[in-house]
């Protein structure tokens, strides 16, 4: 038994915050943000929206594209670093909002690599025959957990959600998944739960950007080699790279590592900023809908984030 992607969907909030807008209230410039990150703008959720709302819209969109109804879904896995509640899961809200049966629903906490983790878990459940159709959704409201007075982080993040419907198949879609964690580097990218950690100073995202950047390029480079080797493939076999969208310079480094021209890399960081667990399924959905990623293409998904965690998936779409 294999798993394959049956449908994709996404949701981006209407409101857009440009770099020029940011110049109005923090000490930054469009030029700095563009050259250091590639970001030009990010989407910001409406005050009335929850993370589960964003996820639900993306899931509906993905179910529609797969031609499936709520009664056909066996499991929902939500990857998020910005859950609406400390408990229960955002997945329980999404399950209810989508009108699904009393199926398994849970969250995965793996920051920006959350979608790769969710996809890997879903793939295992399908391979073992425990479930036939699983929705994996990455969703974030990062604009709610950044300190808008901290220019080193607030310019980087955006809100959004992306989803895939994964289904059982005779032919392989998800060829392999690879996940890693280095907990010794936990302190270079995190957002404390200040209700639990009494000594933590603020709940906002804290990042040693330069250090995270260095680890990301090294670990993602290793991960690309590991993924290709596991499938007995070479760089030339990959049709599309869909990377986590944190920084265009990290994305370019991975394209170079794969000897890929940038027109074979799906880039959304300019228009969306870093949407953490949502970035890969958002980029995949855009590339599927605009016709770049076609059935049969070999697609490499890779991500890196706080933990530190990093993960990849090689997919025959
Ligand atoms: O998604 C999870 C994984 N996350 C990542 O992969 C992010 C990895 N890190 C990065 O993308 C980059 O490190 C950043 C974009 C966060 C920062 O870029 P950088 O080239 O590493 O800049 P830096 O942190 O070394 O800061 C350079 C300078 C500093 O000034 P000094 O100390 O050199 O005078 C900062 O104060 O840029 C200054 N700076 C800013 N200036 C204008 C920092 N933020 C800003 C800003 N506008 N928004």
CA of 179 to the centre of ligand 1 (A): 27
| 23, 30, 181, 210: residue to mutate for ligand 1 pocket, most atoms within 8 A of CB | 210
C-beta 152 within 6 A of ligand 1: yes
CA–CA gap between residue 114 and residue 112 (Å, rounded): 5
C-beta 112 within 6 A of ligand 1: yes
C-beta 212 within 6 A of ligand 1: yes
Res 230: pLDDT? 98
Mean pLDDT of the chain: 97
C-beta 304 within 6 A of ligand 1: yes
Instruction: Kindly report, residue by residue over 182-206, the tens digit of the pLDDT.
Output: 999 999 999 999 999 999 989 999 9
> What's the predicted TM-score (pTM) here?
0.97
At 81, is the pLDDT very low, low, confident or very high (cuts 50, 70, 90)? very high
Nearest residue CA, atom 25 of ligand 1? 210
CB 270 within 8 A of CB 40: yes
Instruction: Kindly report, residue by residue over 281-296, the tens digit of the pLDDT.
Output: 999 999 999 999 999 9
CA–CA gap between residue 232 and residue 219 (Å, rounded): 20
C-beta 205 within 6 A of ligand 1: no
Tokens in use for 177? 């998944």
The arithmetic mean of pLDDT across residues 59-85, rounded, is: 98
Nearest residue CA, atom 17 of ligand 1? 209
Res 43: pLDDT? 98
The arithmetic mean of pLDDT across residues 25-52, rounded, is: 98
Res 201: pLDDT? 86
Q: What is the set of domains in the chain, with CATH numbers?
A: 2-171 (3.40.47.10), 175-316 (3.40.47.10)
Nearest residue CA, atom 41 of ligand 1? 28
CA–CA gap between residue 204 and residue 18 (Å, rounded): 21
CA of 152 to the centre of ligand 1 (A): 6
At 115, is the pLDDT very low, low, confident or very high (cuts 50, 70, 90)? very high
The atom of ligand 1 lying closest to the CA of 22 is: 48
At 76, is the pLDDT very low, low, confident or very high (cuts 50, 70, 90)? very high
CB 308 within 8 A of CB 182: yes
C-beta 249 within 6 A of ligand 1: no
Nearest residue CA, atom 19 of ligand 1? 210
Closest CA to 295 of 3, 69, 4, 2: 4
Catalytic residue set: 112, 244, 274
């Amino acid at each position: 038994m294999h798993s394959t992607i049956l449908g994709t969907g996404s949701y981006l909030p209407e409101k857009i915050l440009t770099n020029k807008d940011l110049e109005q209230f923090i000490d930054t410039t469009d030029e700095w943000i563009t050259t250091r990150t590639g970001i030009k703008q990010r989407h910001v959720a409406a005050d009335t929206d929850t993370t589960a709302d964003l996820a639900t819209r993306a899931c509906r969109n993905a179910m529609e594209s797969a031609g499936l109804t709520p009664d056909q879904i066996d499991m929902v896995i939500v990857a998020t670093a910005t859950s609406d509640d400390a408990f229960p899961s955002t997945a329980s809200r999404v399950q209810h909002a989508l009108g699904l049966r009393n199926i398994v629903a849970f969250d995965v906490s793996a920051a920006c690599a959350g979608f790769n983790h969710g996809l890997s878990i879903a793939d295992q459940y399908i391979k073992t025959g425990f479930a036939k159709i699983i929705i994996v959704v990455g969703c974030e409201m990062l604009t709610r957990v950044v300190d808008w007075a901290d220019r080193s982080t607030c310019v980087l993040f955006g809100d959004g959600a992306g989803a895939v419907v994964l289904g059982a198949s005779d032919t392989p879609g998800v060829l392999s998944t690879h996940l890693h964690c280095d907990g010794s580097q936990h302190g270079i990218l995190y957002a404390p739960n200040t209700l639990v950690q009494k000594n933590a100073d603020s709940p906002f995202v804290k990042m040693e950007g330069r250090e995270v950047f260095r680890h990301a390029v090294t670990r993602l480079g290793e991960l690309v080699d590991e993924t290709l080797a596991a499938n007995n493939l070479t760089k030339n076999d990959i049709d599309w790279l869909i990377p986590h969208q944190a920084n265009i310079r990290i994305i370019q480094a991975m394209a170079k590592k794969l000897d890929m021209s940038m027109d074979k890399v799906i880039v959304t960081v300019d228009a969306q900023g870093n949407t953490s667990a949502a970035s890969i399924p958002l980029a995949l959905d855009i590339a599927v809908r605009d016709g770049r990623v076609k059935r049969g293409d070999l697609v490499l998904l890779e991500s890196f984030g706080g933990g530190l965690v990093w993960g990849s998936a090689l997919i025959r779409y």
